[in-house]
Chain A
Amino acid sequence: MTASNKSNIVLDVSGVNKSFGGLRALTNVNLQVEEGKVHAIIGPNGAGKSTLLNVCIGRIRPDNGHVVFNGETLDSHQPHEINQLGVSRVFQTPEIFADLNLLENVMIPAFAKRDGAFTFNAIRAVSAEKELREEAEEILHDVGLYERRTHLAGSLSRGDKRRLELGMCLIQKPKLLLLDEPTAGMARHDTNMTIELLKRIKARGMTKVIIEHDMHVVFSLADKISVLAQGTVIAEGLPEEVRGNPRVKEAYLGEAH
């Protein structure tokens, strides 16, 4: 509707402000994410990156400004409604179902995708859902956890939990995938594996916003980079442009002192 003149913008954050008490976490943040692109958000600690993602999924309401997703303004949407519109998120600390096994962990989001926000389905057995099960097994193959599909999710290492959570998001085939430091706490080998996985999904045309500290990950994936410092976007552009930007260097070096 509102975005008809720029229809390739999937996520449009405009003029978002957010304060926690006296602390200004976000100041007039604008962000446009194009369809099918990987948009990285980088910046020093405390720059407001995670807050920005929280605003996008309805976990935090902005003080003013708007978030528009696919032409729909997300001002009063509940988190589950935002997900049903096609936004999935990988959290900084993995949010998984620790008491359930991996297969169930991945099947549950598939149920949400197929049956909507609430369905009283107490007649069929879960074991009779062959299609969803096969889909979930395929995803577990993709993230490299198939062999452990009957293990409890709580028994996984931190890096494996992240990959599981990524699988839980991928099975929903979201229009927009938000990744909050998807490789933090992973060994180099696992990081490379995750990069490969994300590249493969990129080929399928899924739009992604990724927060990352690891520049190796950022520069191997991102089409566009926004740099956030002290709650505002200080630079934006293609990876090579951002790499040479003096303000970005200052923001990162300033953090070291």
Chain B
Amino acid sequence: MFGNLSRNDWVLFLGFSAVVLLAPILFQPIGAAYPAILQKFCIFGLFAIGFNILFGLTGYLSFGHAAFLGVGSYAAVWSFKLFTMNVIPAMIMSVAFAGIFAFVIGFVSLRRSGIYFSILTLAFAQMSYNMAYSVLTPLTNGETGLQLSLKDPRIIDAMFITPGAGLPRSNIFGIEVSGGGMPGFYFTAVMLIIGFYLSMRIFRSPFGLMLKAIKSNQNRMRYTGFNTRPYLMAAFVISGLYAGLAGSLMASVDPLAGAERMQWTASGEVVLMTILGGVGTLVGPVIGAAVIKYFENIFSAFNENALNNIFSFIPDAVREPIVKLLSLFVGEGWSLTLGLVFMAIVIFLPGGIMEGVRLLTSLFKKGGNGNKPAVSGHTQPAE
């Protein structure tokens, strides 16, 4: 089970795990070493890893993956309400429901490819979003969002524990996950590392190779004797499972679920993360997720007052227009900055951050002579 990975892959895996587990120390200098933001890195990283298995390997661009994230969140909160605050059953329920959802949506959407596939997935996600606000209100609690309450049955917990005064916290066999502590971060970190390992295995397996081949030339695959539909279905469902797991982690660290998690902007965000980091690379999507969540955190914290303070050394007459202009890009306007950065990446660095890293390393290695023939597969460098 643990064999068959090349030495490069092991180095990559161990390096990745080390960075993730040491994040509370490593990210201290950039001010991102507190659990709330680190948890976000891990959860969205996991979401993007799963999305990349579909988009990166097969080239099928889904605009509806937030639906699975939302389904996972609701399933987890229901598990907390009905059964137990332990996160393991919640994760199992989330993954199962997201898997069923992904199977149904994939079954219909994968009848088409290209832009039609994207639009079908988008339509399904918007449909789920609107249903969560309307007919499914008994399940989703509509605009208020699904929350824990003292009246919840929690039948398994009730058998063993006498409930305390306040709302219970989610836990993994007694260790608290919600509540914003470090254990919550380590829990999401371990899930991210497991998710990364599985995705690495898929990338290096014959199954992964077939997905890459479908992306490269689906016609050739058909005339080579492959039934491509089940391959695409499997990739779609696997990425749905990842999204469901990410949704359950979201609910685990903060036990509530709202329909806005299923909105198209959330689906679009994971596309941005994957492209920004590097489509089809192993660590790119995680880096993209962390970068976006980090800068979102920084930029949205700024407001006009903060900008005025920063530029207080400039005379008022000059400062005011500068602050007015810059304030468009911070706070609520953070998405404007993100949009500009995204455009720049797609135009100048289509391979995302990972391509930038590769270009830089090849510059350093060969002293500016980076024109060696492109190679892939077995001789691929650790990325």
CA distance A117 to B230 in the complex (A): 9
Q: Is B149 an interface residue (CB 8 A)?
A: no
Q: Is B371 an interface residue (CB 8 A)?
A: no
CA distance A111 to B376 in the complex (A): 19
Check if A100 sits within 8 Å of B219, measured CB to CB: no
CA distance A91 to B201 in the complex (A): 33
Q: Is B104 an interface residue (CB 8 A)?
A: no
Q: A100-B216, A100-B377, A119-B206 are in contact. List 10 more A-B contacts (CB 8 A).
A: A78-B222, A80-B221, A80-B222, A84-B225, A95-B220, A109-B225, A116-B225, A125-B4, A125-B204, A126-B209
Check if B375 sits within 8 Å of A101, measured CB to CB: yes
Of B206, B219, B374, the residue contacting A95 (CB under 8 A) is B219
The verdict on A100 contacting B4 (CB below 8 Å), with A112-B225, A117-B227, A121-B206 known, is no
The verdict on A126 contacting B224 (CB below 8 Å), with A150-B377, A155-B374 known, is no
Shortest CB distance B234–A (Å):
6
Q: How large is the interface on B (under 10, 10 to 19, 20 to 34, 35 or more residues)?
A: 35 or more
| Complex interface: chain B residues within 8 A of A113 (CB) | 225
Check if A83 sits within 8 Å of B224, measured CB to CB: yes
| Complex interface: chain B residues within 8 A of A124 (CB) | 4, 205-206
CA distance A31 to B75 in the complex (A): 61
| Complex interface: chain B residues within 8 A of A111 (CB) | 206, 209-210
CA distance A104 to B203 in the complex (A): 13
| Complex interface: chain A residues within 8 A of B1 (CB) | 123
Q: Is B244 an interface residue (CB 8 A)?
A: no
The verdict on A117 contacting B378 (CB below 8 Å), with A96-B220, A104-B209, A111-B210 known, is no
Check if A120 sits within 8 Å of B223, measured CB to CB: no
CA distance A18 to B224 in the complex (A): 25
Nearest residue (CB) in B for A121 is B206
Of B206, B212, B230, B374, the residue contacting A129 (CB under 8 A) is B206
Q: Is B266 an interface residue (CB 8 A)?
A: no
Q: Is B191 an interface residue (CB 8 A)?
A: no
Of B5, B221, B376, the residue contacting A125 (CB under 8 A) is B5
CA distance A117 to B210 in the complex (A): 11
B-facing mask of A141-176, CB < 8 A → 1, else 0? 000000000111001000000000000100010000
Nearest residue (CB) in B for A117 is B227
Of B4, B210, B215, the residue contacting A99 (CB under 8 A) is B215
Check if A101 sits within 8 Å of B377, measured CB to CB: yes
Check if A122 sits within 8 Å of B227, measured CB to CB: no
Nearest residue (CB) in B for A108 is B213
| Complex interface: chain B residues within 8 A of A108 (CB) | 209-210, 213, 221, 224
Check if A100 sits within 8 Å of B213, measured CB to CB: yes
Of B208, B216, B378, the residue contacting A98 (CB under 8 A) is B216
Nearest residue (CB) in B for A109 is B224
Q: Is A20 an interface residue (CB 8 A)?
A: no
The verdict on A127 contacting B204 (CB below 8 Å), with A97-B217, A100-B213 known, is yes
The verdict on A95 contacting B216 (CB below 8 Å), with A103-B378, A108-B210, A127-B6 known, is no
| Complex interface: chain B residues within 8 A of A121 (CB) | 205-207
Q: Is B379 an interface residue (CB 8 A)?
A: yes
Nearest residue (CB) in B for A59 is B223
Check if A152 sits within 8 Å of B223, measured CB to CB: no
> Which 10 interchain pairs have the tightest Cβ spacing?
A83-B225, A112-B225, A125-B4, A117-B227, A97-B216, A122-B207, A95-B220, A99-B216, A118-B230, A122-B205
Check if A122 sits within 8 Å of B208, measured CB to CB: yes
| Complex interface: chain B residues within 8 A of A55 (CB) | none
CA distance A111 to B211 in the complex (A): 13
Q: Is A37 an interface residue (CB 8 A)?
A: no
The verdict on A57 contacting B216 (CB below 8 Å), with A122-B207, A128-B4, A155-B373 known, is no
Shortest CB distance A137–B (Å):
12
| Complex interface: chain A residues within 8 A of B234 (CB) | 120
| Complex interface: chain B residues within 8 A of A116 (CB) | 225
| Complex interface: chain B residues within 8 A of A155 (CB) | 373-374
Shortest CB distance A152–B (Å):
5
Nearest residue (CB) in A for B205 is A122
